[in-house]
């Protein structure tokens, strides 16, 4: 293989950018896992560009979440999850089927399938799946979410809490 150094550098930047974009999504989900009463949401809000859009698509999510434009509107949506009483007793997001496309040094997009297991403080539990389409933009030297779109795949009530306090079954000694 005969590569020019500029081509190698360009490919390296693209690979690192793809990894950095994926890390933004992983950080977003990790912060969402711990949205709880009194939690500081600024680290979550800082993942968004100043003019970001957060959007629920499809009949169910458009009605439930709507469309939020700008960091302040996104903050207003998320801050509700940090007010008493706590909304979640347990909330875990799993991302799969990742596909990241770095379009330039400042633009990228990605898709993921999300699986969310949640138990609410009222005792109900839910299993949900969504398709995420997310655009990213480099702002202030960092990759940030410019447009977050979530479309429901399915939502299913679960009869028991996800975290069962009974001992785990293990082989006898």
Mean pLDDT (whole number) for 43-72: 98
Across-strand partners of 28? Answer: none
In Å, how far are 110, 123, 157 from 103, measured between CA atoms?
A: 11, 44, 39
Mean pLDDT, the chain, as a whole number?
A: 94
Q: pLDDT confidence of 2, banded at 50, 70, 90?
A: low
Q: What is the pLDDT of residue 27?
A: 98
**Fold of the domain built from segment(s) 5-158:** Nuclear Transport Factor 2; Chain: A, (3.10.450)
Q: Which residue's entry shows tokens 């999850």?
A: 81
Confidence of residue 169 (pLDDT cuts 50, 70, 90): confident
- CB-based contact 129:44 (threshold 8 Å): no
CB atoms closer than 10 angstroms to residue 42: 8
Q: What is the mean pLDDT of residues 81-92?
A: 95
Residue-level pLDDT at 1: 59
pLDDT at res. 6: 82
Q: Say how far apart CA 30 and CA 6 lie, in whole Å.
A: 36
Q: Which pLDDT tens digit goes with each residue over 95-112?
A: 999 999 999 999 999 999
| Largest interatomic CA distance in the chain | 62
């Amino acid at each position: 293989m005969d590569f020019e150094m500029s081509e190698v550098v360009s490919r390296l930047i693209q690979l690192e950018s793809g990894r950095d974009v994926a890390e933004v999504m992983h950080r977003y989900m990790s912060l969402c896992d711990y949205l709880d009463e009194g939690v500081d949401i600024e680290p979550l809000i800082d993942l968004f560009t100043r003019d970001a859009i957060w959007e629920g698509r499809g009949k169910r999510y458009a009605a439930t979440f709507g469309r939020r434009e700008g960091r302040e509107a996104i903050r207003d949506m998320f801050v509700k999850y940090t007010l008493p009483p706590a909304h979640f007793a347990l909330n875990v997001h799993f991302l799969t089927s990742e596909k990241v496309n770095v379009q330039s040094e400042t633009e990228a997009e990605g898709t993921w399938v999300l699986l969310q297991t949640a138990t609410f403080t009222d005792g109900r539990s839910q299993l949900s799946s969504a398709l995420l389409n997310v655009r990213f933009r480099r702002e202030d030297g960092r990759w940030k979410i410019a447009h977050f779109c979530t479309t429901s795949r399915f939502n299913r009530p679960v009869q028991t809490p996800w975290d069962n306090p009974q001992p785990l079954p293990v082989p006898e000694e």
